[in-house]
């Protein structure tokens, strides 16, 4: 009787979408007892994603979030509307288990899901970054949390990466107003602060006291020449439903 892991993944249409989702899905195919909430940033759900999900054999929930994300100082926080939509679905449909926000373009080690599965409140672990900073992680001394390492602290109480934490759903449901703010750079911080009272000292430290990197915040190179999607150009490919 493994606790269920609800994996909330925002996704949006671009040339690399199906490649990212293929990579991610073939990882998730190896993880037991999950629900994959794949949430399209679009006015409506697409047939292409529906077909894709059906082919994976993974237990999924296919949703979309209307792009009411708004703008924050000109730049759009990415995936926030979809993550909040996933939160809403979980509040209404799940009683137990664990929630994990997993972007569609990251790289996941199967061990990560073993680490997070028995989260009691909020668990955290290092996230490998493909930048000079190298990693974002809680700092642990003698088995105890002492601070955070991240390339940019920005006055955040929880300077962590979206891929770096999981939340117990029973605990989440004791925080009915917990949500993510449409605030670029402060998405994780706003969400974790909305779980108050909850302090960094209460974090459950995973991945051998945060000594192992089990998830990477990878980013796929954009090819500007192929944006926006040209329906005629891609007419014979699987990019067009």
Point out which residues bind ligand UDP (CB under 6 A): 9-12, 41, 78-79, 82, 103-105, 219
**Residue 188 annotated among the catalytic residues of the structure:** yes
CB of 135 or CB of 205, closer to ligand UDP: 135
Task: Give the CA distances from residue 71 to residues 34, 38, 156, in Å, rounded to whole numbers and listed in that order.
Answer: 33, 23, 20
Min. distance of Cβ 160 from Mn ion in angstroms?
Answer: 15
Min. distance of Cβ 120 from Mn ion in angstroms?
Answer: 28
Q: Please state, as a whole number, how many other Cβ atoms lie within 10 Å of the Cβ of residue 19.
A: 12
Q: Which partner from the list ligand UDP, Mn ion, none does 238 bind, CB cut-off 5 to 8 Å by kind? A: none
CB of 67 or CB of 220, closer to Mn ion: 220
Q: Which partner from the list Mn ion, ligand UDP, none does 123 bind, CB cut-off 5 to 8 Å by kind? A: none
Q: Which of 40, 187, 188, 204 is catalytic?
A: 188
How far is 59 from 196, CA to CA, in rounded Å? 32
How far is 101 from 47, CA to CA, in rounded Å? 23
How far is 67 from 79, CA to CA, in rounded Å? 9
Q: Which of 105, 77, 76 lies closest to 14 in space, CA to CA?
A: 105
β-pairing, 107-108 with 165-168? unpaired
Site string for Mn ion, 93-132 (x = CB under 5 A): ----------x-x---------------------------
Three-state DSSP class for residue 166? strand
- Residues making up the chain, counted from first to last: 241
Residue 123, token pair as written in the block: 């668990």
- Which residue in the block uniquely carries the two structure tokens 């909850």? 198
How far is 221 from 79, CA to CA, in rounded Å? 18
CB of 84 or CB of 168, closer to Mn ion: 84
Q: Total residues contacting Mn ion (rule CB under 5 A)? A: 2
Contact flag: residue 161 with Mn ion (CB under 5 A): no
Min. distance of Cβ 202 from ligand UDP in angstroms?
Answer: 26
Min. distance of Cβ 96 from Mn ion in angstroms?
Answer: 29
Strand-pair partners of 65: 41
CB of 103 or CB of 204, closer to Mn ion: 103
Q: Which partner from the list Mn ion, ligand UDP, none does 82 bind, CB cut-off 5 to 8 Å by kind? A: ligand UDP
CB of 41 or CB of 103, closer to Mn ion: 103
Peptide bond into 31 cis (omega under 30): no
Min. distance of Cβ 146 from ligand UDP in angstroms?
Answer: 27
Residue 125, token pair as written in the block: 């672990």
Contact flag: residue 41 with Mn ion (CB under 5 A): no
Site residues for Mn ion per CB under 5 A? 103, 105
Q: Which residues belong to the active site?
A: 188
């Amino acid at each position: 009787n493994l606790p269920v892991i609800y994996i909330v993944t925002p996704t949006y249409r671009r040339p690399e979408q199906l490649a990212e989702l293929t990579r991610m899905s073939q990882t998730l195919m190896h993880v037991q007892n999950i629900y994959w909430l794949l949430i399209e940033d679009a006015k409506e759900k697409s047939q292409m994603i529906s077909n894709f999900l059906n082919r994976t054999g993974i237990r999924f929930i296919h949703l979309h979030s209307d792009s009411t994300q708004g703008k924050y100082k000109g730049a759009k926080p990415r995936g926030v509307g979809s993550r909040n939509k996933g939160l809403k679905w979980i509040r209404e449909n799940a009683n137990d288990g664990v929630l994990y926000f997993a972007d569609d373009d990251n790289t996941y080690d199967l061990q990560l899901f073993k680490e997070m599965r028995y989260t009691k409140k909020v668990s955290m672990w290092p996230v490998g970054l493909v930048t000079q900073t190298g990693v974002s992680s809680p700092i642990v001394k003698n088995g105890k949390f002492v601070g955070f390492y991240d390339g940019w602290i920005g006055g955040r109480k929880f300077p962590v990466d979206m891929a770096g934490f999981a939340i117990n759903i029973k605990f989440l449901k004791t925080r009915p107003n917990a949500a993510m703010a449409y605030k670029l750079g402060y998405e994780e911080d706003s969400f974790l602060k909305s779980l108050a009272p909850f302090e960094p000292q209460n974090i459950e430290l995973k991945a051998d006291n945060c000594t192992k990197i089990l998830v990477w915040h990878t980013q796929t190179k954009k090819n500007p020449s192929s944006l926006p999607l040209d329906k005629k150009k891609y007419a014979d490919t699987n990019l067009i439903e």
